[in-house]
């Protein structure tokens, strides 16, 4: 039986399997980035075309590989080949490179909302110990802020919704007097 990959199975042993499907190439790429952090290895995108994605281990002699194709009949990407066996010393090459989005997701997955108030040094220590991700203090602070924005929304996005909020207040409480002023800043 084919199953859609969801973030909830990140910690399962079989995160990616042959014949699994993904809604888009970006969903698949995201899952592979998370898998690389979880299992502490590096990968490279060997081939990326509109209907094909091939990802391999950074060690050219390693057999680890994922190949996915887009079916003609639908928009989904299917895993057509998956060799989940590293025949290299990939972990010696270095820890996985994690983007700020991936690291923010790891913070949310591991610490939930508690991570939003944790000191960056503590987050950095845990990410280094658990995933081998090494970062600078200011980058870790940025990752924590990105996670904060994902949970609570960015100030810019929240202010953009202010007029909708005021309209809802007026709708719920007829006769309410509101005033909203915007300056150049």
Asked whether residue 103 is domain-assigned, the answer is yes
Q: How many domains does the chain have?
A: 2
Q: What is the pLDDT of residues 9-25, one digit of tens each?
A: 334 444 787 888 888 88
106 and 169 share a domain? yes
Work out the end-to-end distance of the chain between its first and last CA atoms, rounded to an integer number of angstroms.
55
Strand partners for 21:
4, 78
Q: What is the pLDDT of residues 44-58, one digit of tens each?
A: 888 888 888 898 888
Task: Supply the range of the domain harboring residue 55.
Answer: 7-92
End-of-domain residue from the set 77, 92, 107: 92
105 and 36 share a domain? no
Asked whether residue 2 is domain-assigned, the answer is no
77 and 150 share a domain? no
Asked whether residue 146 is domain-assigned, the answer is yes
* pLDDT more than 90, % of the chain: 0
Kindly give the confidence (pLDDT) of every residue in the chain, 185 residues in length, as a single tens digit, with 9 standing for 90 and above: 334 433 333 344 447 878 888 888 877 877 887 788 777 778 888 888 888 889 888 888 888 888 998 877 777 888 888 888 887 765 555 555 666 677 777 777 766 667 677 888 888 887 777 777 777 888 888 878 877 787 777 777 777 788 888 888 888 998 888 888 877 76
End-of-domain residue from the set 92, 125, 151: 92
SS3 31: helix
75 and 137 share a domain? no
End-of-domain residue from the set 50, 75, 92: 92
53 and 109 share a domain? no
67 and 17 share a domain? yes
């Amino acid at each position: 039986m084919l199953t859609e990959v969801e973030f909830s199975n990140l910690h399962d042993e079989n995160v990616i399997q042959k014949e699994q499907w993904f809604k888009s190439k970006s969903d698949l790429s995201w899952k592979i980035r998370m898998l690389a952090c979880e299992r502490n290895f590096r990968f490279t995108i060997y081939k990326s075309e509109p209907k094909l994605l091939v990802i391999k281990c950074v060690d050219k002699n390693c057999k680890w590989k994922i190949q996915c194709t887009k079916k003609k009949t639908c928009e989904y990407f299917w895993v057509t080949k998956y060799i989940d066996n590293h025949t290299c010393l990939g972990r010696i090459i270095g820890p996985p490179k994690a983007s700020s989005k991936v690291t923010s997701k790891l913070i949310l997955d591991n610490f939930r909302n508690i991570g939003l108030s944790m000191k960056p040094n503590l987050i950095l220590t845990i990410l280094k110990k658990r995933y081998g991700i090494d970062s600078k203090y200011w980058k870790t602070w940025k990752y924590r802020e990105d996670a904060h924005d994902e949970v609570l929304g960015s100030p810019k996005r929240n202010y953009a919704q202010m007029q909708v909020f005021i309209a809802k207040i007026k709708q719920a409480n007829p006769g309410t007097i509101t005033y909203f002023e915007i300056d150049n800043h």
